[in-house]
Amino acid sequence: MYRAFALICLLCLPLNVGAEPLLLKADAYLDVASGKLVKPAEILVDNGRIVAINQDQWPDQVDVVALPGKTLLPGLMDMHVHLDLDFETGDFGIVVTESGAEAALRSAKNAERTLMAGFTTVRNVGQVHPSLDLIDAAVAHAAEQGWIRAPRIIPAGHMISILGGHGDLAMAEGLAEGRLELGPEYGVVSGAADAIKATRFQIKHGAKVIKIHATAGVMSLEASVGARQLSDAEMVAIVEEAERHEIPVAAHAHGTEGIKAAIRAGVSSIEHGSMLDAEAIQLMIDRGVFLVPTNGLMDLINLDLLPAQKRAKAEFVSPRMNQSLSAAIKAGVKVAMGTDAPLIPHGQNAFEIVKMTERGMSPLQAIQSATTVSAALLRMDDLGQLKPGWHADIIAVDANPLEDIRTVQSVPFVMKGGEIVKGGPG
């Protein structure tokens, strides 16, 4: 029995554990902190970490991975995804017709697509399936154990929303009264006591970030896209409880007053931030709050397929999203890249990076939003750069991304944690 167990454990290990160190050889690598393109690029990787870069001599016993004509970058990061949702079925109906097990399998499929696109870390800011199991926490655990090919996943569990609000699935799906009445375990709250219970439940079951709905949204049934939802007392209670566990809070917020209220409550990031004004921008700068704009999706949504009310809200918010992001970039707000995938389809996440350059970022700033800035939002100081001692999350692209940012949309080589998952030898 012991031998069988040992064999199973051995088979679960990444393919390169116990193998020789890997020496990646490419034309160049981008130092994302300084913006310098360094030539050549020779990076030694062992035990999941970068050991050295561009040394004069290398050990005799290494496996060389030749990447001629390629430029190396740190693995990219997406700070706003929903892995258990996609639109291959054409609607949101899967959230009430699929089991939690099916949702986990769907999440694993979407996670692999995301990884193969060069995104080695993602923040899953809220599952949409009403299951007491924290599906995203389970998928994150499976990724950590090497059971599935997936990015490093930072899970949120259930999004915390008011009764009848943006995250109340009975409202989102327009279900009949009494059909799906959810409580704090599912993130649906009324009052500060419920909000604390909801936060504690998510953390108990594996959440590493808490997601709240400070306002309504485009997909809400509420007439206004920016209406306040969670109260000041509820948001403060959530933030204080989460921070006691050293867990940050991300706030879905479209409307101006809801954005400001969430910032004052102490959240770490504003998701979407569609209607920023000068005061909100200054508050973000003063308090070090990040913006995760999810801006590119508005260029992909087919508004003709939306019901009339939701189409009107999308048409109202779209130009304001663009203006808000451009103003935030110009003012120096810390902007981290997020897609709201599947609104940008899983595996096409880099579309958002390209769109950021159309809103006022330089190519370097856009890349930093998906590397160094995202790492800072995650409070992880060994991700987001190619440096000795840091995680060996490395991708290769076909061109200099400072000259052609669209090259990040086609990634031929991906390494996560020292394991080649795409584009290896042979």
Residue 197: Cβ-neighbour burial (10 angstroms; 0-12, 13-18, 19+): middle
- CA distances 269 to 260, 298, 334, 335, 420, Å, are 12, 20, 9, 9, 32
Helix 256-265 and helix 232-244, axial crossing angle in degrees, nearest 10: 40
For the question of residue 197 being annotated catalytic, the response is no
Residues 6+ apart with CB under 8 A from 143: 111, 150, 151, 152, 153
Q: Identify the DSSP state of 53.
A: E
Judge whether 290 and 336 are in contact, CB under 8 Å: yes
> Tokens representing 339?
């897609």
Residues 209, 159: Cα–Cα separation, whole Å: 10
Residue-by-residue DSSP string for 307-349: -HHHHHHHHHHHHHHHHHHHHHHHHT--B-----BTSSPTT-T
Judge whether 395 and 402 are in contact, CB under 8 Å: no
Q: Is 133 helix (H, G, I), strand (E, B) or coil?
A: coil
For the question of residue 340 being annotated catalytic, the response is yes
Q: Is 238 helix (H, G, I), strand (E, B) or coil?
A: helix
Closest CA to 119 of 74, 159, 60, 162: 74
Q: Identify the DSSP state of 170.
A: H
Judge whether 423 and 405 are in contact, CB under 8 Å: no
From 211, 260, 310, 334, the catalytic residue: 211
Residues 6+ apart with CB under 8 A from 84: 103, 104, 106, 107, 110, 127, 128, 129, 135, 136
From 78, 136, 168, 340, the catalytic residue: 340
In b/e form, how buried is each residue of 285-319, taking b as 16+ CB within 10 angstroms?
A: eeeebbbbbbbbbbeebeeeebeeebbebbeebbe
Could you give the residue numbers annotated as active site? Answer: 211, 340
